[in-house]
A = this chain, B = another copy of it.
Amino acid sequence: MVYSNRDNNAFYAQSGGVTPVINASAAGVIMAARQKGIKVYAGADGIIGALHEQLIDTTKMSEQEVAALRYTPAGAFGSCRFKLTDMQKQAKEYRRLIEVFKAHKIRYFLYNGGGDSQDTAHKVSQIAQEMAYPLVCVGIPKTIDNDLYATDFSPGFPSVAKYVAISSMEATLDLASMCSSSTKVFILEVMGRHTGWIAAAAGLTPVGFGAQIILFPEVAFNQEHFLARVKECVKNYGYCSIVVSEGVRDTSGQFLSASGNKDAFGHQQLGGVAPYIARLIQEKLKLKHHWAVSDYLQRSARHIASKVDVEQAYALGKFALKVALKGINGKMVTLERSKKNNKIIWETGLAELAQVANQEKHLPADYIAANGFEITEKAKKYLLPLIQGEAYPPYHQGLPAYFRLNAKFLKKKCTDFV
């Protein structure tokens, strides 16, 4: 590799909860940068790495390592839950970023995250202007929750959707085969604190193969309706398979997972809307049940990632680098759905960072069936193309050949940040 462009380096960081394909975006950025002779420095543990000048020199990564990013889940460079929002209160942090970027000749700021992170990218771009430092800021979308505006989908979501649909399908087959003499109800808890996109994916299974009840955060939980529906399913099919979003709330707006879940010492029980629903079914219907909480499994399941997801995450990374090199500042790269030869494809596009920052895209009302427990044909039409194709990772000795980076750091040039 020849890095001809020595005075214009790029900074890349991963932000917020990780996904099965965020590393594919990283691979896209690095691959595109190498083609242009641009060095990419990655923030160790996200933006924290920039503040503390912990910069990973990706030029030291072999081609194989960069290729391995494409099939390795989670954040290879480390991610963080650290918010940079208020430009006044956090002026010190914003200024420090520019100090570090200046020291390492970083001219491109590529930030891979959700709504909060797009807000940060926007503000970094503003502070650079204020400080008259030439910096091009580009956001790359990522969130399993699929709650980002302006892009057809957020990379990460399709793979989680695929995992949830398959898991619900498999567990429902299990339930169906045991229900005559054993378990009658199965409950799978999935993520989505504020939006029901992930839960909705359970509606993609063919009739008779998946959950009969989906509980969305967008629909206030009505215990009576719910229990009636469970009884009806058990009566008609012999079993009832349920997918519940962690974000479901009761009619007073309180999370179900928080209501009444106190232990013997009066402490709030730790999370878990699935055990809450299970207890309800036990107490009110006396039906044998099982429950699962997929938690991190769902968002790290690279072994069953959607091919569409991996390819588009990679494409967005490549496109973000190109956009940055063109000097297009203050944008988030997006995906636009279109059709080619009667096949759905995605093209890359751009949105204003200011526009996508700090917004949440909820499941549209017409994606949820009138009974509140299913998705509509319109929802299926949107969701189904996203889970197409299986992008299997390579295997070594029966396990995925995932990789962990042995990070090589840049020599520090600034004083410590305190």
Contacts and interface: CB of A to CB of B under 8 A. Distances in A.
Interface stretch (A100-108, A289-297, A315-323, A325-333): A289-297
A58 interface: no
Interface stretch (A29-37, A263-271, A349-357, A367-375): A263-271
B398 A387 contact: yes
Interface residues of A, number: 87
A404 B296 CA distance: 30
A234 interface: no
Contacts of A182: 80-81
A388 interface: yes
A70 to B, nearest CB: 14
A144 to B, nearest CB: 11
Nearest to A44: B180
Contact of A170 (B14, B205, B267, B303): B303
Contact of A270 (B186, B279, B301): B279
A113 interface: no
Contact of A186 (B76, B170, B296, B388): B296
A121 interface: no
A304 B74 CA distance: 19
A175 B78 CA distance: 10
Nearest to A173: B74
A174 B397 contact: no
A297 B171 contact: yes
A20 B166 CA distance: 13
A306 interface: yes
A299 interface: yes
Nearest to A397: B384
Interface string A134-172: 000000000000000000000000000010011101110
Contacts of A269: 263, 269, 275, 279
Contacts of A278: 270-271
Interface string A73-87: 111111111100000
Contacts of A267: 279, 283
Contacts of A303: 166, 170, 304
A194 interface: no
B293 A292 contact: yes
Contacts of A292: 292-297
A260 interface: yes
A139 to B, nearest CB: 19
Interface in A375-392: 384, 387-390, 392
Given A180-B48, A181-B45, A392-B390, A295 B299 contact: no
**Residue from A17, A176, A296, A400 with most neighbouring chain B CB atoms (10 Å):** A296
Interface in A1-28: 14, 17-18, 20
Contacts of A162: 398-399
A173 B404 contact: yes
A206 interface: yes
Contacts of A365: none
B170 A74 contact: yes
10 contacts: A45-B181, A48-B181, A78-B178, A81-B181, A170-B296, A170-B402, A173-B300, A270-B282, A274-B293, A389-B398
Given A176-B404, A272-B275, 20 more contacts: A74-B174, A78-B177, A79-B177, A79-B178, A81-B182, A166-B303, A167-B301, A170-B297, A206-B399, A209-B402, A264-B266, A267-B283, A270-B278, A270-B279, A271-B278, A292-B292, A292-B294, A297-B297, A303-B304, A389-B398
